[in-house]
A and B are shown apart, each in its own frame.
Chain A
Amino acid sequence: MHGNVYLKAIFKRNALEKLNMSESKNYRDILEKYEAKREYLVSAFQDIQEKDGYLSENAVKESADYFGISKADAYSVVSFYAQFKFRRPGKHIIRVCKGTACHVRGSGTLLAALEERLGIKEGETTPDGLISLERVACLGACALAPAMVVDGKVHARMTLAQLDKILKGLQ
């Protein structure tokens, strides 16, 4: 029961955010690619998130039904993994690498600059829903630190001048 109350609170915040990205109405197409065996639970959630950008309350519920487990059980699994998001992300996603090599080469400054320029903290989305700012575990581009990813594209040897250029291009 407690799990459900917590879930509701989290998803309620989502409902308040008016963004133009729409959540899939039907998850059956994705779910039915998988046998209803528990080992496919995480894979199915990965596919849903890839499509929607996050996991809505509905997505968790429908998946739990499909795999024959409780909603709380499903939520306990996905909430364990850093990859899953329960709030709708912005149109563009900037992810700053927090790996060791990036750390010693100034990813902290990069993040501070992003927070200042966007007016949001790590893990948040700009009020207009344009940009989400996240941190990501090591990208493996350590030799070209500091690195960040914008909408899936890796940018290496980041400088503040480059950052401003990239931000200008995001609309």
Chain B
Amino acid sequence: MDILREKRAEAEREWKDFTSDKKSRVMVGAATCGRAAGALAVMDEFKRLVKEKGIDAEVVETACIGLCYAEPLVEVKRAGEPSVLYSKVSPKDVAGIVEKHLVGGEPCIEKAEAVMSDKPFKGIQTFAEHPMMRLQKRVVLRNCGVIDPSNFGHYLARGGYKGLENSFSKTPEEVIEEMKASGLRGRGGAGFPTGVKWGFARASKSADKYIICNADEGDPGAFMDRSVLEGDPHSVIEGLMIAGYAIGANKAYIYVRSEYPLAIERLKLAISQAEEAGLLKRKFENGFEFEIKIKKGSGAFVCGEETSLMASIEGVRAMPRPKPPFPANSGLFKKPTNINNVETLAAVSSIMRDGAASYAALGSEKSRGTKTFSLAGKISRTGLIEVPLGTKLGQIINEIGGGCPEGKKFKAAQTGGPSGGCLTGEHMDLPVDYEGMASAGSIIGSGGIVVMNEDSCMVEVAKYFVGFTESESCGKCVPCRMGTQHLHLILEKICNGEGEMEDLERLTKIAMTMKQSSLCGLGQTAPNPVLTTLKYFKDEYIAHIKEKRCPAMACSGLITYEVDAKKCTGCTVCERVCPTGAISGGPKKVHSIDSDKCISCGACYQSCKFNAILRH
């Protein structure tokens, strides 16, 4: 593309200069998670000290590199040396790092996580050999945490918009064929082949067509899309343009959660940069013209369902409608519409840049390419990862995630959020791809993996998810509206020790009814957490019902706490951590728990160093 030629050449020069060995540089990871951990204060401190000491070093903001457990992360590069990644940096560590490393040339080994080079440096392991990185393959996350996401030039210099250029050298039909050849399947959860979907929308005849990027990442426990939008917004915009060209759409909406303010800010900036560069709102020589608008979501999980999402953009209640007609024929404003998820679009730009073959070479037979996952819950290395599909569950949990912290035992991993199911220790050799997950009764979904250990009660977890879908059910169809309510009521009863064995049959019956007769994906998948926990952890249900006992000691209705007067030293720790003020005693006196006020949260139990809190 002629319009980008000059800009790209300039960007490449700038990038070369930016990454050159000759300059010192500090890069602070300041995506939402980094900021929550205090990255902005760390960045300010670096800026202040670098200025004060007159050091010739640039302090730059980048996004999330994925090692969220170690936030705030800072890369420090001294002229002529490789860049060292520091973890858990607090403002008070900054002076030491500046003094010792930037000025003195000695990296602070104790804070160093890895070195961003292909060789170890002064005893620090390389980033590629970092246990969390070793098995990863970054396609979608290629730029996250590497570039400054607000710098258009950085994206260009790393091959940005080359995918669009390559697409323009093909016919739209050829682009769709390329997409089919890559084997890319929709990363929003359903896993439908992207090329085939585009083919349907292409075949619909209409002067106006729409393409929508679904960035309403609603699964609790999932943050892949947020990281991509915050860390590499142009990859999504480029993907949207390629999709628009392929299906013949001229207008696009990005529907993004309002809970992601930083992602919205980055998207707005990226769109204005693309407009300024002449990529958007301008007719290309091949006649293609494209416009992107941002629509902020308003907190409705059901918008993950495409017909609901479209209703929401149209300004009505976001309720799904039966299909057909499919969006490819009659979607937004009754025009042919294609909806893709953030990650899918970010993969599209990379596939069109590097060719379908290199993408198809990754992954397993029917599930090609890579998938991002967010690791959260009771796992040592929480964060964002990208692995070839077909990587084994055990590799993800134990090798990448480092297993459960504090030596606790792994119990289950919930995948696919409230629509997914749980996997157990038996599934460690299960290939994590669309087929493998389906065989175990779960789904990949959008890619959230929440790990539970021995302290998590699976009945309570099922109750949590059903409680979530109950409040998010739009209420349009009876099976979902009533089904989620009744599942929730029964699970609550069981958790309080008031369940009966017949309840298990009731749960299954309601669950199956919902699966078969709900109108949309929300209701059809909402019973999955119940069904999989019933399948793999039936003994826990039975213990709650027959023995009135919660094996994981997590259901507050079934446990009581008291102070062991012989062991209590009167250290007051429990008194201070009690959220409801149920513990009294005072210094050096034996404490006691007021059972009326106690909510059985277990905070005292966990904090007592003398094992003086008894749990029944």
B-binding residues in A (CB < 8 A): 37-43, 46, 76-77, 80-84, 98-101, 103-106, 108-110, 112-113, 116, 136-145, 147, 152, 154-157, 160-161
Closest residue of chain B to A97 (Cβ to Cβ) is B220
A contact residues around B316 at 8 Å (CB): 38, 77
**Could you say which residues of chain A place their CB within 8 Å of the CB of B318?**
80-81
| List of 6 A-B pairs having minimum Cβ-Cβ separation, nearest first | A143-B68, A113-B579, A81-B298, A101-B376, A100-B221, A82-B299
Contact of A83 among B223, B298, B315, B576 (CB under 8 A): B298
A72 CB to closest chain B CB (Å) equals: 12
Q: Smallest distance from the beta carbon of B575 to chain A beta carbons, Å?
A: 11
User: A101 and B579 in contact (CB under 8 A), knowing A144-B382, A152-B261?
Assistant: no
Residue of B whose beta carbon sits closest to that of A111: B579
Q: How far is the CA of A112 from the CA of B577 in the complex (A)?
A: 12
Q: Which of B71, B221, B295 contacts A101 (CB 8 A)?
A: B221
Which of B29-37, B197-205, B500-508, B515-523 touches A?
A: B29-37
> If A105-B377, A160-B576 touch, does A100 touch B601 (CB 8 Å cutoff)?
no
Contact present for A160 and B579 (CB under 8 Å) = yes
**Is the CB–CB distance between B378 and A42 below 8 Å?**
no
Bits for B380-407, please: 1 = Cβ < 8 Å to A, else 0: 0011100000000000000000000000
Closest to B258 in A: A83
Please, how many angstroms separate the alpha-carbon atoms of A84 and B33 in the complex? 25
Which of A141, A143, A157, A160 gathers most chain B CB within 10 Å? A143
Choose, from B187-195, B277-285, B448-456, the stretch at the interface: B448-456
Inside 8 A of A157's CB, which chain B residues have their CB? 37
Residues from chain B with a CB closer than 8 A to the CB of A160 are 576-577, 579, 603
C-alpha gap A46/B376 in the complex (Å): 31
- Within the assembled complex, what's the spacing in Å between the Cα atoms of A83 and B465? 20
13 intermolecular pairs with C-beta atoms under 8 Å apart:
A42-B312, A99-B220, A100-B414, A100-B448, A104-B452, A109-B602, A116-B581, A140-B223, A141-B36, A143-B33, A143-B383, A144-B36, A154-B35
Instruction: Report the minimum CB–CB distance from A82 to chain B (whole Å).
Output: 4
**Residues in chain B near residue A100, CB distance under 8 A:** 220-221, 376-377, 414, 417, 448, 450, 464-465
CB <8 Å contact, A144 and B601: no
Which chain B residues in 344-375 approach chain A with CB under 8 Å? 374-375
A76 to B299, CA, bound (A): 15
Residues of B462-491 contacting chain A, CB below 8 A: 464-465, 468, 474
- Besides the contacts A100-B376, A101-B450, A144-B36, what 20 more A-B pairs have beta carbons closer than 8 Å? A39-B313, A77-B315, A80-B317, A81-B318, A100-B221, A100-B450, A103-B464, A105-B377, A113-B579, A113-B580, A139-B259, A140-B223, A141-B32, A142-B221, A142-B377, A143-B376, A147-B36, A154-B35, A156-B36, A160-B576
**Does B260 sit within 8 A of A, measured CB to CB?**
yes
8 Å CB contact of A81 from B300, B377, B468, B601: B300
Per-residue contact bits, chain B 19-52, to A (CB 8 Å; 1 contact, 0 not): 0000000000000110111000000000000000
Task: Give the complex CA separation of A107 and B258 in angstroms.
Answer: 21
Find chain B residues with CB under 8 A from A143 CB.
33, 68-69, 71, 223, 374-376, 382-384
User: How near does chain A come to B422, taking the closest CB pair, in angstroms?
Assistant: 11
Residues of A within 8 A of B219 (CB): 138
Contacts of B142 on A, CB cut-off 8 Å? Answer: none
Measured between beta carbons, the chain B residues less than 8 angstroms from A105 are 377-378
With A and B bound together, what is the CA distance between A10 and B25 in angstroms? Answer: 56
Q: Which residues of chain A come closer than 8 Å to B260, judged between CB atoms?
A: 140
Q: Are A138 and B259 in contact (CB under 8 A)?
A: yes
B259 with A144: CB separation less than 8 A: no
Question: Cβ of A39: which chain B residues have Cβ within 8 Å of it?
Answer: 313-315, 333
Name the one of B218, B375, B461, B602 contacting A137, with C-beta atoms under 8 angstroms.
Answer: B218
How many Å lie between the Cα of A42 and that of B101 in the bound state?
Answer: 51
Q: Which residue of A lies closest to B582 (CB)?
A: A116
Residue B544 at the chain A interface, CB threshold 8 Å: no
- A contact residues around B383 at 8 Å (CB): 143
Q: Which residues of B sit under 8 angstroms from A80, Cβ to Cβ?
A: 300, 317-318, 474
Instruction: List chain B residues, Cβ under 8 A from A37.
Output: 315
CA distance in complex: A103, B250 (Å): 42
Interface string of B298-331 (1 = CB under 8 A from A): 1111000000000011111110000000000000
Q: Which of A108, A113, A152 has the most CB of B within 10 A?
A: A113
A81, A113, A142: the one within 8 Å of B223 (CB):
A142
- Whether B33 lies near A138 (C-beta < 8 A) is no
Flag whether B599 is at the interface (Cβ < 8 A): yes
Q: Is the CB of A112 within 8 A of B599?
A: yes
Q: Most chain-A Cβ atoms within 10 A of its Cβ — which of B37, B296, B300, B315?
A: B315
A116 with B580: CB separation less than 8 A = yes
Is B343 an interface position by the 8 A CB rule?
no
Name which residue of chain B comes closest to A164, CB basis: B576
Asked whether B376 lies within 8 Å of A142 as measured between CB atoms, the reply is yes
Contact A142 B222, beta carbon cutoff 8 Å: yes
Looking at the assembled complex, report how far the CB atom of B255 sits from the nearest CB atom of chain A, in whole angstroms: 11
Q: Determine whether the beta carbon of A46 is less than 8 Å from that of B223.
A: no
- Give the distance to chain A from B5, nearest Cβ to Cβ, in Å: 37
Q: Does B217 contact A (CB under 8 A)?
A: yes
